[in-house]
Structure 1
Amino acid sequence: MVNTLSHLGIGLLIASVAGLNSRQIKIVAFMAILPDLDFILNALLLAIDQDLSHRAYNSLYYFFGHREFMHSILFASLVTLYIWFKEKNGILTLASGAAIFSHIYLDYVTSWKMRPFFPFVTDSSTIGAIDFFDPVVTIISFIPIVYILAEHAKKNGYLKDGNNWLSGLSKGKHEIFYRNLLIVFTIWCLLNPVAKALLIDHIEETEGHNIGYQGSYPISPGKFLSAYSYNDSYYRIFTSSYWSGIENAAFVRKYPNNEGEFIEYLSKAEILYGNSLPGEIDYPVYDVSTYGNNVTVTLSDARNPLAQYWAYFKTDYVFVFDEDTGNYQVYIKRNGQYGKPVPMNLFE
């Protein structure tokens, strides 16, 4: 499972192979989890978002949002340079840089949409070649953490000299084993994007349509959920795997049958969503309903029918327009659960 503990484990592997002392190992371990501390900035943004203008909110989101600036190559480079000027140690700098870059790459190669090339590229993207629950990444990253916890328990929690819970790493215990684990991890993370590209090429040839690398997300080890625009009216969605090819194919209508009657509200919802961040929906599907003088436009992702757990696909934007006043409210529904009305400055 790719989470903060996974990043910590990879950081410890890098530190152990680099042959660092206990203090330096702590620095590298911290670098491996540093990008995820952006959740603090994200919480601050959520606390003040309703008091910001639309332009100010969007600008701050790029820097304060989770998996935004602190998950960028620019941020990682600046932190690595800081370590060099602060410590003046080449090996420590390389290990720290490798740890923070491994965090960004591991998130990017799984299912998270990010902006790793911000501010040069502001569009979000993902490699999306490794599943969040990938067993190889999970096992490898958790091995050094389990070892440290076992050593710590063995010493009854005392951190005396010689019994320090980092002493095993700093003294080179299991160094060859950890080096081999790191090699396997690196090869695995580099080969999976290539394997996905070959699968996509095969599917595109079978379908006779351009799917695109970004059009497929991993939903389980070796299995992907894909979508593409089949024509002006329909998306085609399907799952595929390395061992069985295309599965569970279906067509999803882009717009409701009464599109012409409510084109004004559909267009308004489309514009409002296009102005918002983070932009989770890649293949927009619209549904319209009416109640009294209200017109409700629900915007969802075409992949929802085949998605089980992924939050990106299970997020709906519900726009409720008042035909008489022209006012509207927006709700975000995640996994079937409504939230409070969203502040309007997120959209205009």
Structure 2
Amino acid sequence: MVNSLSHLGVGLLIALTLGFKGKKRNALGFLAILPDLDFVPYVIFALLGGSVSHETRNQLFYLFGHREFMHSILFILLVTLFIWFKTKDRLFTAAGFAAIFSHVYLDYATSWKMRPLYPLSTGTSTLGAIYFFDPLANILPLLPVFVLLAAYMKGRGKWNGKFNNFCAFVTKNRSKLYPALLIVLVVWLAVLPVTKLFLVNYISSAEGAKISYEDTYPSSIGKFLAAYSYNSTHYRIMEVSYWSGIEKSDYIEKINVTGEVPNDSAYIEKAGKLYSTAVPQEIDYPVYSVSEGNGSVTVTLSDARDQYVKYWAYFKTVYRFVFDKESGEYVAYASEQEGREKKLEENWFRRIS
């Protein structure tokens, strides 16, 4: 997940490398941020999501959700075909493909799970190889944005006398500078997933356990949060890095029951089944906390890694199911990124017996 301005910069960098100017250059910049315009259809989903069936709600989420269909391979191909039929320009079509692909790849390579194969598959996946505050991925693409901004401001009679030497250097060396920057960025983004693979394999060997590549989450520059099921009752959580291997580790209970809760396993199973029917399925290592009070049983579901991540993470969502002991009915709540808890609509989950 790279910021939108850096996505724009990648599109402009592609355009400047290939010599596009004016409207075509701007179009490539737009294509590089196009997938993030899925917030527009997401508004439609937010308006309609509560008034349809559970199955329809899930399909609407796949189509209109953030980082869903508009971050898929099919969407990239459809946009590329549209560009070709509209322009019949092979180079511009290839550049358009590269611009929109760069956005999807950057999001996929950083820290958020997506469904790139939708509608062939609704399974989520991610490379998770690049920290979303990675300086190279975020800062390098800002250079063409700044160059064009400076040119625009100078053209309007502003910034006169400012950045003259810098702009002159860029103008003089642009035929080599932009391709060099693009090559550096591409190599960086291609190498990091491979280096992560070596790290995960090393940790797996050291632990004598299979560590999931995609569930090993980039927690900071060069560092990851890894986990695996240690035994039937605990997960092992590890902070690992390229330079130190396993730096810290801890064990997290899979189930925590407060007091004596009759049939606690049945409530846990029901909460798990309900969650399995919902989207977006962000929890990889489920942890259940069970308590009883006021004629109800509360089951809280979260990810074992939740407390080890300071900033945004796709799995930082906590679900709370409150089951009425007599009727068996439930009310569900959720909080995201340690935000305010909200009550979930009835069609969020499929009815189970």
Q: TM-score, normalised by structure 2?
A: 0.92
Matches within 5 A, 1:1-348: 2-156=2-156, 174-257=174-257, 261-348=263-350
| Counterpart amino acid of residue 322 in structure 2 | V
Instruction: Give the distance between the partners of 1:198 and 1:112, measured in 2 at CA.
Output: 21
Q: Which runs of 4+ in 1 moved over 4 A?
A: 257-260
- The 8 Å contact of residues 223 and 239 in structure 1, kept in 2 or not, is answered as yes
- The alpha carbon displacement at 1:346 in A equals 1.1
- The alpha carbon displacement at 1:301 in A equals 0.3
- The alpha carbon displacement at 1:27 in A equals 1.5
Instruction: Give the distance between the partners of 2:198 and 2:187, measured in 1 at CA.
Output: 17
Assess, with a 3 A threshold, how the Cα gap between structure 1 residues 308 and 214 changes in structure 2: closer, same or farther: same
- The 8 Å contact of residues 261 and 291 in structure 2, kept in 1 or not, is answered as no
With 295-304 and 15-24 compared, the bigger mean Cα shift is at: 15-24
- The alpha carbon displacement at 1:260 in A equals 6.8
Q: Secondary structure of the residue that 2:37 maps to in structure 1?
A: helix
Instruction: Give the distance between the partners of 1:172 and 1:345, measured in 2 at CA.
Output: 60
- The 8 Å contact of residues 311 and 334 in structure 1, kept in 2 or not, is answered as no
Instruction: Give the distance between the partners of 1:221 and 1:108, measured in 2 at CA.
Output: 17
RMSD over aligned Cα atoms: 1.9
- The alpha carbon displacement at 1:252 in A equals 0.6
Q: Secondary structure of the residue that 1:7 maps to in structure 2?
A: helix
With 37-46 and 148-157 compared, the bigger mean Cα shift is at: 148-157
Assess, with a 3 A threshold, how the Cα gap between structure 1 residues 6 and 323 changes in structure 2: closer, same or farther: same
Deviations along 1:217-263, whole A, 9 cap, x unmatched? Answer: 10111100111111111110011000111122001111125687312
Instruction: Give the distance between the partners of 1:109 and 1:270, measured in 2 at CA.
Output: 29
Assess, with a 3 A threshold, how the Cα gap between structure 1 residues 76 and 336 changes in structure 2: closer, same or farther: closer
- The 8 Å contact of residues 299 and 318 in structure 1, kept in 2 or not, is answered as yes
With 123-132 and 248-257 compared, the bigger mean Cα shift is at: 248-257
Deviations along 1:304-335, whole A, 9 cap, x unmatched? Answer: 23111133232100111111222211111224
Q: Secondary structure of the residue that 1:117 maps to in structure 2?
A: coil
| Counterpart amino acid of residue 209 in structure 1 | A
- The alpha carbon displacement at 1:91 in A equals 0.8
| Counterpart amino acid of residue 175 in structure 1 | S
Instruction: Give the distance between the partners of 1:316 and 1:225, measured in 2 at CA.
Output: 18
Assess, with a 3 A threshold, how the Cα gap between structure 1 residues 337 and 4 changes in structure 2: closer, same or farther: closer
| Counterpart amino acid of residue 343 in structure 1 | E
Deviations along 1:254-304, whole A, 9 cap, x unmatched? Answer: 112568731221111101100000011110000011221011100000002
- The 8 Å contact of residues 307 and 313 in structure 1, kept in 2 or not, is answered as no
Q: Secondary structure of the residue that 1:226 maps to in structure 2?
A: strand
- The 8 Å contact of residues 268 and 288 in structure 2, kept in 1 or not, is answered as yes
- The 8 Å contact of residues 300 and 316 in structure 1, kept in 2 or not, is answered as yes
Assess, with a 3 A threshold, how the Cα gap between structure 1 residues 157 and 286 changes in structure 2: closer, same or farther: farther
Instruction: Give the distance between the partners of 2:195 and 2:238, measured in 1 at CA.
Output: 18
Assess, with a 3 A threshold, how the Cα gap between structure 1 residues 329 and 157 changes in structure 2: closer, same or farther: farther
How many pairs were matched up?
338
- The 8 Å contact of residues 211 and 228 in structure 1, kept in 2 or not, is answered as yes
| Counterpart amino acid of residue 294 in structure 1 | S
Deviations along 1:148-200, whole A, 9 cap, x unmatched? Answer: 22222222369xxxxxxxxx9xx997231111000000000000000000001
| Counterpart amino acid of residue 223 in structure 1 | K
Instruction: Give the distance between the partners of 1:259 and 1:140, measured in 2 at CA.
Output: 55
Q: Percent identity?
A: 49
Instruction: Give the distance between the partners of 1:311 and 1:52, measured in 2 at CA.
Output: 29
Instruction: Give the distance between the partners of 2:317 and 2:114, measured in 1 at CA.
Output: 17
| Counterpart amino acid of residue 138 in structure 1 | N
- The 8 Å contact of residues 112 and 313 in structure 2, kept in 1 or not, is answered as no
* Corresponding residue number in structure 1 for 2:165: none
| Counterpart amino acid of residue 236 in structure 2 | R
- The 8 Å contact of residues 261 and 292 in structure 2, kept in 1 or not, is answered as no
Instruction: Give the distance between the partners of 2:133 and 2:90, measured in 1 at CA.
Output: 34
